[in-house]
Amino acid sequence: MMTRLETLELEKRNKVAIIYLNRPPYNPLNQKVFAEMSLLMDQLENDRDVNAIVITGKGDKAFAAGADIKEMAQLTDAEMIKMNKTSRAALTQIQNSAKPVIAALNGLALGGGLELALACDLRICTEHAKMGLPEINLGILPGGGGTQRLQRLIGQAKAKEMLFFGDVINANEAHALGLVSKVVPQEEFMDQVLAWADKLAEKPMLAMRMIKTSVNTGANLDLESALDLETTCFGVAFDSADRKEGMQAFMEKRKPNFTSR
């Protein structure tokens, strides 16, 4: 049974699940958001009718303009650590999901909002989107993986520049850094996001899972260990019914019917 959601909204379209951060207009992130995200990711992970996931924000102003500062300001140190653990668990679930996850940045993605996007596999944004990790201006630092995931994505020097200054960058700057894969006009935005998601949802899920495992885990290993992991993942995919079906369909010049999970 699907969890009743208060801060998120779920829509299913074909084999794609769309998760909306539902606290417009700026969709601030609080403890409830992360707790619901964790529960929802658990359910979607086991939903055989979902092969790809999109996370976006309600409205056209923000994906998520950061953490709910009003809530954070009232928390004790112990309560803040608890919230950090809750958010970290949810972001780790997104990163480690067997299914590809697209962050559709429909506006501001600041602080925790950008950290949520960084946990996703791919990021697409509108032309008016703006991104940044401005926590230093509040006397703190990103606590949801920003100091770690950002440098792995755009390199340490550029990550330090964004973290040290806390400045906000525009969509074109984010694209030039490799922070987002694609910048799309507002009027075409969700059509292009869903076109990517639909295409991903048709890919063989076992091979997709092995690719994510090889990339995500291998990034933290030495090269020889990472190559060993790749070989293991390749072996799992090669031994699957999907490999047989994919090669047979290629030779028969037809669309493959992938079934392995």
Q: Would you call the peptide bond into 25 cis, given omega within 30 degrees of 0 as the criterion?
A: yes
CB 114 within 8 A of CB 69: no
Strand partners, 165: none
Letter for the amino acid at 148? Answer: Q
In the block, which residue shows the tokens 């992360």? 34
Give Cβ neighbours of residue 38 (< 8 Å, ≥ 6 apart): 86, 89, 90, 93
Q: Strand 122-126 relative to strand 168-170: parallel, antiparallel, unpaired?
A: unpaired
Helix, strand, coil percentages in the chain from 3-state DSSP, rounded to 5:
50, 15, 30
Active centre residues (catalytic): 115, 135
Per-residue tokens: 166? 């806390």
Decide: residue 121, CB within 10 A, 0-12 exposed, 13-18 middle, 19+ buried. Answer: buried
**How large is the greatest C-alpha to C-alpha distance in the chain, in angstroms?**
64
Residue 75 is classified by DSSP as -
Q: Strand, helix or coil at 167?
A: coil
